[in-house]
Structure 1
Amino acid sequence: MYKWKRLARTAVVAASAAVLVTGLSTSAQAASGTFAYNRADTGFRQVMENPADDECIMMPGGGGVVDNFTDTVATLYRDEACTVPQGTLAPNSGGAYGGATVPHSVFFG
């Protein structure tokens, strides 16, 4: 009887460890934190929570004031397809853009 309890306890510990490892690997696919920008066309604030890594994300209206409060470098692009680089924002930094040079997309990773 004791042998079965010990085997069950070992299985629970192993399963918990597997869930922990899997949980950590899936959470690494997103920048942790908030990315926000004031739309250049309307001034309204747009906020993204934990934006996806390795994916081009459009910024409708373009970014006038951009704040990267994530733990990942954000690369800004002048176009919506992430093909014309604008610059980068380090984690926990921001920038202001105007005229024809406002960013229209962002890439984390």
Structure 2
Amino acid sequence: MYRHKRLARLSLVAGSAVMLVTGVSTSAQAATGTFTYNRADTGFLRTMLNPPDEECIVMPGGGGVVNNITDTVATVFRDEGCSVPQDTLYPGNSGAYGGADVPHSVYFGQL
């Protein structure tokens, strides 16, 4: 009986080790390229290099002129929580926004 418990524990430890090695090796995907925007509040240029996919990214100050020079579709949102979509920028596209209609967050990837 003791031998079976020991074998079960050994199998569990070996399986966990395999999962740790193979499970951790996967990396998050990122859009390749740059995403730039001029802050609507200051006009300063902000640049994101290879931004992560499938994450809501806040754009401090809001985006006046936005350039998607990545290989991924970027959706800009009016709020900071990516819940009120404003515009979809395909790779290579730009957008200009002003007043109360500036985007405050961006999401890379398909929604």
**TM-score category of the 2 structures, normalised to the smaller one:** 0.7 to 0.9
**TM-score using structure 2 length:** 0.74
Matches within 5 A, 1:17-56: 26=27, 29-56=29-56
Amino acid paired to 2:65: V
* Percentage of pairs with the same residue: 69
**TM-score using structure 1 length:** 0.75
RMSD: 1.2
2:106 corresponds in structure 1 to 106
Number of residues of Structure 1 aligned to a counterpart in Structure 2: 85
Give the C-alpha shift of residue 93 in structure 1.
1.1
What are structure 1's unaligned runs of at least 5 residues? 1-21
1:65 corresponds in structure 2 to 65
Query: Which of structures 1 and 2 has the bigger CA Rg?
Result: 2
Runs (4+) of structure 1 moved beyond 3 Å? none
What are structure 2's unaligned runs of at least 5 residues? 1-24
Matches within 5 A, 1:70-109: 70-109=70-109
Query: C-alpha separation between the residues in 2 aligned to 1:92 and 1:26?
Result: 25
Amino acid paired to 2:54: D
Amino acid paired to 1:33: G
